[in-house]
Amino acid sequence: MGGEVVIGRGLALESPVGAASGTFGYGFEAERMGNLAGLGAVFTKGTTVAPRPGNAPPRIAEVPGGMLNSIGLQNPGVEVVASEYAPRWRRWGPKVIVNVAGSTIDDYVRVCQRLDLVPEVAGVELNISCPNIAHGLDLGVDPHAAAACTRAVRKVTGKALIVKLTPNVTDIAEIGRAVQDGGADAVSAVNTYLGLKWSHIRGAPVLPGSGMAGLSGPAIKPLALAAVARLVAALRIPVIGIGGIASADDAREFLELGARAIQIGTANFYLPGIAASCAAELRQGAGPA
Amino acid sequence: MSAAPLPESDLGRARDEVATCVGADQLGPGLHLLTLEAPEAARAALPGEFAQLQMVPGPLLRRPFSFSSVDPGRGTVSFYLRVYGEGTRRLARLALGSTVRLLGPLGRGFTLPESRGSSLLVAGGVGAAPFPHLASRLLAKGERVLWLNGAASSDELFPLGLMPSGLARSAQVTDDGSSGRQGMVTDALPELLDGMDRVYACGPNPMLQAVAEMVGSLRPEAPVEVSIEAPMGCGFGTCLGCSIPLLSRGTAVPGLCCRQGPVLVAGQVDWEGLRRQPSHLE
């Protein structure tokens, strides 16, 4: 269970354990802290065509068993990632899969076109499900739009193409089938659940604006397992499980359910060595190959 | 984002160690001094750097605190904290012998002077936290150290007895006049600034802004460093939760309190932007 896994297009990961987008930056903090060893993949911060400063604070709030975030896709833009960050990934053991975000299909195409030229990028993960930026087109909740975005990116990239799905839909399997038909090599699920924290002292949401934000952490693990179970039953392509994983046993639950690989997210914030230790623990449990 | 990036903390010294509670003292209403046995942090922590403390069981995210004092010989560190919510309440009640996880040292600390001179340390409320550590390092370098401490009332003042001995001068101010002079630290600041080579400040953001402006007009040759507080998730730059508005050569740049701070040169802070921000995690 803990050895090498293949995620489409020959993308082989030395471990099924990855670090989830938005919880690991571009991997450099973990590199400096010695927490990259043995990981299968680093899924980077959501990357857009142009740099984005992100949302005004406060951006995070804690809730029982989890946290809400509304970061607003702060990132340096694809050019910096491709030309300045990627060369620093060259000697890494973990594969780097760049998470890609945008407002229009054209945004995704442009970012993926640029990344296709970068040898250090092992794959792209389309974030068609970020709840924290306003856009007219909700790509992640409309199966036709999700398929169209996947198809458009498929035409411009030879890299492994993973589509990260939002759980904030009626039927996640329907979206999964649509992106599978659009040419995705794998899906990853789930992104954050829409949540809100209210301050009755102030009579207002804790986070700015409407207060809507993405809920992550152990609180969502049963919800994520249910979503992954539906996807595994509905799809031919691999499913990468994400949602509240904070231990090797949590990871095993997703893998036994049928996920090909998993990503550790929020736990990286409070247990910075957790992804590496889970990878090591699963590898030990895997026994001789 | 075209302005020169501000320097970032070095994460390479941070260790995640199990720390044992060897002291938990209430110093005032909601104010506590927590002493932990944490040999690695005690060896490594520099003044103004912080640790992320995690209680198990406890809230999901760790809570950040400046190192208040370090004793490398005993292998202990202490944290001066105010109870804000669940996380700090549980830390304040930590039983002797129980353990927490300590990740640190993190962040950029205070700049220690190259040559001997005079330093003024200005603290408001729980902002006294990093100063015992800073004062002892400065005194060890032969620096002349002045201490200005303000709080709402006498029972909320950081005890003078917990500062290292050898301070050249110390002054106290309270909002209600129950101890020392009545007023705010800025009321007592002008008379202490004469001859100061540098000023270090920690406290509520409006106080830091007022101190920075006052030093800038009365003693412009003295650099001011401030330790800023912001709601923090991870403490090492990946959650992007502790965004603070900074200036690089006058141009606004987004920064992270945990990587570019918590200690910043006053001129690197966009004070008006910071004024609109919350100061701790809700």
What is the model's pLDDT at position A288? 52
- From chain B, the residues in CB contact with A25 under 8 A are 237-238
Calculated CA dihedral for residues A174, A180, A182, A184, nearest 10 degrees: 130
DSSP A54: -
What is the model's pLDDT at position A80? 98
Read off the tokens for A69: 């975030």
Read off the tokens for B267: 């001129």
* Residue B14 contacts A, CB cutoff 8 Å: yes
pLDDT band at B253 (very low <50, low <70, confident <90, very high): confident
Interface touch A270/B238, C-beta < 8 Å: no
Q: Which of B233, B254, B276 sits opposite A269 (nearest CB)?
A: B233
What is the model's pLDDT at position A287? 54
pLDDT band at A239 (very low <50, low <70, confident <90, very high): very high
B11-106 CATH choice from 2.60.40.1180, 1.20.120.530, 2.60.120.10, 2.40.30.10: 2.40.30.10
Cβ contact B201:B130 at 8 Å: no
Interface touch A60/B277, C-beta < 8 Å: no
Please compute the mean of the pLDDT values over residues B91-99 and round it to a whole number. Answer: 95
What is the model's pLDDT at position B5? 77
pLDDT band at A136 (very low <50, low <70, confident <90, very high): very low
Position A135 pLDDT exceeds 70 = no
- From chain B, the residues in CB contact with A24 under 8 A are 238
- From chain B, the residues in CB contact with A270 under 8 A are 54, 60-62, 234
> Can you point out the beta strands (E) in chain A?
5-6, 12-13, 17-19, 41-43, 60-63, 66-69, 95-100, 121-127, 160-164, 186-189, 193-196, 198-199, 204-205, 212-216, 239-242, 261-264
Read off the tokens for A104: 């229009």
Bridge partner residues of A214 (DSSP): A69, A194
Please compute the mean of the pLDDT values over residues B113-129 and round it to a whole number. Answer: 97
B252: Cβ–Cβ under 8 A, 6 or more apart, which residues?
A: B3, B245, B246, B270, B273
Interface touch B238/A60, C-beta < 8 Å: no
Q: Cα–Cα distance between B13 and B28 in angstroms, integer?
A: 33
Q: Which of A58, A65, A218 sits opposite B231 (nearest CB)?
A: A58
Q: Cα–Cα distance between A249 and B254 in angstroms, integer?
A: 38
Position B207 pLDDT exceeds 90 = yes
Looking at domain B118-275, does it have CATH number 3.50.50.60?
no
Calculated CA dihedral for residues A31, A32, A33, A36, nearest 10 degrees: 10
Interface touch B61/A24, C-beta < 8 Å: no
- From chain A, the residues in CB contact with B40 under 8 A are none
* Residue B267 contacts A, CB cutoff 8 Å: no
Position B282 pLDDT exceeds 90 = no
* Residue B60 contacts A, CB cutoff 8 Å: yes
Please state the ipTM of this predicted complex: 0.94
Please compute the mean of the pLDDT values over residues B241-249 and round it to a whole number. Answer: 92
Query: For chain B, what are the domain ranges?
Result: 11-106, 118-275
Interface touch A67/B233, C-beta < 8 Å: yes
Helix ranges (H only) for chain B are: 39-44, 86-92, 131-140, 185-193, 205-218, 271-275
Tell me the CATH number for domain A5-54+72-192+216-286: 3.20.20.70
